[in-house]
Amino acid sequence: MTKISLSIVKRFASILTFAIPFLVNYDLILDYFYRCQAPFLDTGLISGIMWRNTWALYTPEVSGSSSFIQTHTTFIYWISSAISSVLPLNSVQNFGLFLGLAYAIQAIVIYYFLLWQQPTWRTHWGYVGASGIGVLFAFNGITQAMMGYPHTEIAGSVLLIAFLCCWASRRYYWAIAPFVLCLMVREDLGFHIFGILGLVLFSQLLNRQFWQDALGRWTCRFAIIAFLYSCGALILQDLLFQNGDDALSRQYLGYPPFAHISATLLKERLSFYLSTKQYLYLPALSTFFMALYPLPRMGLTIGFIAYVPWFLLHLLAVSEQPGLLKGYYAFPYVVSLAWPLIWPWIQHQPPSLKSKHLAVRVFIVGLVLSVFGGWISPTAGTVDLSAISYKADVRAFNALERAINTSSDLKPLYVDESVATLFPKNFQPRERLESYVLEQDRVGTVLYCEPSLESKSLEKLLRSQSFEAQYQVRNTPLKMQTNVSFKDLHPRWQAILDPIDQ
């Protein structure tokens, strides 16, 4: 190893730290969509919103084209939409690019922050070790669960970590960019920032030097701006969409608020957490233990204490998905995992070597326990990274989209959930398979995945109709049944369909 130039090792370590999470997650998204495993809610919906949209962020045509801002102020989709308008990417590739970058940035931020605070690591093996830790952080137990139900909330955690790293290292102007982008991910991210910085301010309440230092002043500025932004975003939603989607009541509070809460509900949820959320509570327990023994250093636990309100909100949620912390709902705890690395740098005085080493130990132990917890957790949706093997033929699906745009002779046309997810802007709500109600309705064509996410609705439709022809969409798991013979199909359809003998 010592015969290899240090600069070469550093360069390759940086590239691998970024490339591995990016390529795995980009491939995972293509695998998820093109194997027709992605549900329309919320994965297909989001991929459609963030692709070539307007400032109002309308939901795709297949879901009714209403402004998504009434649900979440995800203004970061403006950036994704602008980029997708100039790049030759379909909605699936654009979604994969966004999430791939999010996980890659998560790894590279930890990699560089480790090297910045540990100068002794700037050796051949040090760069390799920091790279391995960065990649492992991108695949911690929380993100493993999120990969099973892809969502853009991971960007909020990643940008918050990037902001905290810049802030703690006194690069305040650098911190502005991830701070602003983090606020753009969702309307409540300002409260997340305020929760952490507020606890930092409280912990330094009696430290006069902290308040006189630039760190104290900048911490106050960021905390106040973050809090006011989230308050303003919620007020804006209420003013613009007075009869809009009240996600807080629909998902969390219920109607009337908290009327659904019972001792049985709380017992069931706590039991579920205990049996499935090892990747959350094992790192939390290890962090608290190492923060208390042998000397109390409670600053290490700020990352977990700040999200106690988040835990309670979900424990009491009316909806099952957030109530069980499934999929992406545990995304803030990615920040909690990273916090021990940041803790030594929030003091007025430079941290001692002992404090820095303790912080790294607490971080690595929590990370290893989180990864281990992700492997052993039986939670539905946790992805098996070893199963990523499918290589989607993007050209086949792009050709199918071009054919769909010339499908007037195939109407009335119905599509199942997988097709609606793949092409959310190419169909109307009435063309969804779930809209098929009456058996006497005439159907010209049905385009679906086999096996279908809506197998019962599909079987009902196929039993009530007698289609003249059946086709396989080449290089895809999609099939089409129609009353149009092959010779009468548009040339674009003929180029991608293989007739199936009935």
* N residues, the chain: 502
The identity of residue 161, as a single letter, is I
pLDDT at 2: 57
pLDDT at 384: 54
Please list, in sequence order, all residues whose beta carbon lies within 8 angstroms of the beta carbon of residue 358, skipping any fewer than 6 positions away: 290, 297, 300, 344
Question: pLDDT of 74-120, one tens digit each?
Answer: 999 999 999 999 999 999 999 999 999 999 999 999 999 999 999 99
- Domain boundaries in the chain? 1-139, 394-500
Please give the backbone phi and psi of residue 469, each rounded to the nearest 5 degrees, phi first. -140, 150
Q: How many CB atoms lie within 10 A of CB 88?
A: 7
Max Cα distance, the chain (Å): 83
- Does the CA dihedral 148-149-150-153 come out positive or negative? negative
pLDDT at 385: 54
Burial of 393-408, coded b for 16+ CB within 10 Å and e otherwise, reads eeeebebbeebbeebe
Instruction: Count Cα neighbours of 319 within 13 Å in the Cβ-side half-sphere.
Output: 12
Q: Which residues of the chain have pLDDT under 70?
A: 1-2, 348, 379-392, 438-440, 502
Say if CB 84 and CB 47 are below 8 A apart.
no
Helix, strand counts (H, E) of the chain: 23, 5
Please give the backbone phi and psi of residue 423, each rounded to the nearest 5 degrees, phi first. -130, 65
Residue 251 backbone class (left: φ over 0; alpha: ψ -120 to 50; beta: rest): alpha
pLDDT at 380: 44
Instruction: Count Cα neighbours of 291 within 13 Å in the Cβ-side half-sphere.
Output: 22
pLDDT at 273: 96
Q: Report if pTM > 0.85.
A: yes
pLDDT at 148: 86
pLDDT at 353: 84
Say if CB 426 and CB 401 are below 8 A apart.
yes
Token pair for 177 = 């960019």
Beta-bridged to residue 471, according to DSSP, are: 480, 499
For helices 308-315 and 263-276, give the axis angle rounded to 10 degrees: 120
- The label of the residue with tokens 């703690």 reads 168
Question: pLDDT of 285-318, one tens digit each?
Answer: 999 999 988 777 889 999 999 999 999 999 999 9
**How far is Cα 351 from Cα 436, in angstroms, rounded to an integer?**
65
